[in-house]
Each structure stands twice: as structure tokens, then as C-alpha cells.
A and B are shown apart, each in its own frame.
Chain A
Amino acid sequence: DGGITQSPKYLFRKEGQNVTLSCEQNLNHDAMYWYRQDPGQGLRLIYYSQIVNDFQKGDIAEGYSVSREKKESFPLTVTSAQKNPTAFYLCASSIGDTSYNSPLHFGNGTRLTVT
């Protein structure tokens, strides 16, 4: 079955440590995205990539970094510069242009807790 896999589901880190969240898709989608969701709030875009070896900052990119070396993979690193890293992180993909026939497909998320 095609889909998006995020790992791990739960992640705990000490403040000051960098941490990398994995996102892999086998849908052959060109575009991939990272969102962050805080309790009771909507999703906010961190980074997105429309094609391999290219990515752009979203609305809240500070303190995060990404890479897109392979079409299937879009890992997100939460660095120690991110002031409030505890959140629910969602990876998504789309065929390309997010038109009516090309919505987002989400992974099941990684819940990061930093203490």
C-alpha cells in the first residue's frame, strides 16, 4: 500500500539537542511538506519542497532545517535554536500542484516533547 511513514511516533529530547524527524513516502509525489500543530491550533507550514534538491521556507522556518536528496524522503531537523519545539509534527505530500485533484496526504505524525 502506498503512503507516508513518519517515525518515530513519539520522541523525547533534552533541551539543547538537535533531533531529526523522518518522513518517507512511496506515492511517487513530487511535493512534500512539514507542518507543526500546537494544541487547539491549526497547522502551520515549516518547510516545503516541490522537487528533489529544492526546498523553501514556510511561515515558521526559524530553528528548523530540511533536506530533499531523494524524492521519497524529506527529513526535518529541529535544532536547539527552535525556542518552543514541543509540538505535533506532520509530514505531507502531494502530486505537485495542490489543485482540486491533488490534495495533501499526511503521515500519522511525530509527537515531539522537549524538556
Chain B
Amino acid sequence: RKEVEQDPGPFNVPEGATVAFNCTYSNSASQSFFWYRQDCRKEPKLLMSVYSSGNEDGRFTAQLNRASQYISLLIRDSKLSDSATYLCVVNMGAAGNKLTFGGGTRVLVKP
């Protein structure tokens, strides 16, 4: 089993619709969680941190489920500009604060 696992997609989403996807992690001791956005052939950029109680940033909502060891990202009112690959990133609690990346979930928003 991979340490951080994501559905690669693509998720084809009509403009204005809601899309949600999960990321599972293997280490129950994981301490911090992030969602990054990566556009084609570009560097990843931080979208949002994921807090224990869940958090929202505009149209984006992140949730953490420690019992089932997954985080989720929900995008409301999808825009064409939301088309990207969304990377789940987990601090697995290992020495050196190494962050482990999931393979990414590709989202395509279409008119």
C-alpha cells in the first residue's frame, strides 16, 4: 500500500458544479496535511493547509478524518481555472519532517 494515495482521475466537472475527492494516508501518526495545486509543467503551489476541525477558503473546503485516515478536498461552483492536478501532501511524522506526496488527482472543468 502506498503511503499517500489518491485517485488519479481525471474528474470531468461541468462548470459551476461541485467536485470532491479524497486522499488516504497510511501512518496514523501523521501530523500535518496540505493540499497543493499543480498546473501542467509548473511547480506545485500551496492551496490550503488542512486543520483537524476542517477549514474553508472561499470555494474550497478541506476535511480531515483521522479515524479513517483520509483528507478530502471539495470545490464548489467550479471554474474553468480550477482545472489542475491537486496533490495531497502529508507529514508522516518521520524524522526530518519529510513530507510525502500523493500522485495527484487531475480535475478538468469543462464549459
The residues of A with any CB-CB pair to B shorter than 8 Å are 31, 33, 35, 40-45, 48, 50, 56, 58, 88, 90, 94, 96-101, 103-109, 111
Contact = CB atoms under 8 A, between A and B. Distances in A.
Interface stretch (B14-22, B45-53, B69-77): B45-53
A40 B106 CA distance: 10
B97 A97 contact: yes
Contacts of A33: 99
A103 B103 contact: no
Interface size classification for chain B: 20 to 34
A96 B91 CA distance: 13
By Cβ-Cβ distance, the 7 closest A-B pairs, closest first, are A106-B43, A42-B103, A42-B101, A43-B101, A98-B97, A100-B49, A103-B46
Given A45-B100, A50-B96, A88-B41, 19 more contacts: A40-B8, A41-B103, A42-B101, A45-B98, A45-B99, A94-B97, A96-B97, A97-B97, A99-B32, A99-B91, A103-B34, A103-B49, A103-B89, A104-B44, A104-B99, A107-B43, A108-B43, A109-B43, A111-B41
23 contacts: A35-B101, A42-B4, A42-B87, A42-B101, A42-B102, A43-B44, A43-B101, A44-B101, A48-B96, A48-B98, A58-B98, A90-B44, A98-B32, A98-B99, A99-B91, A100-B32, A100-B49, A103-B89, A104-B34, A104-B46, A104-B89, A106-B45, A109-B42
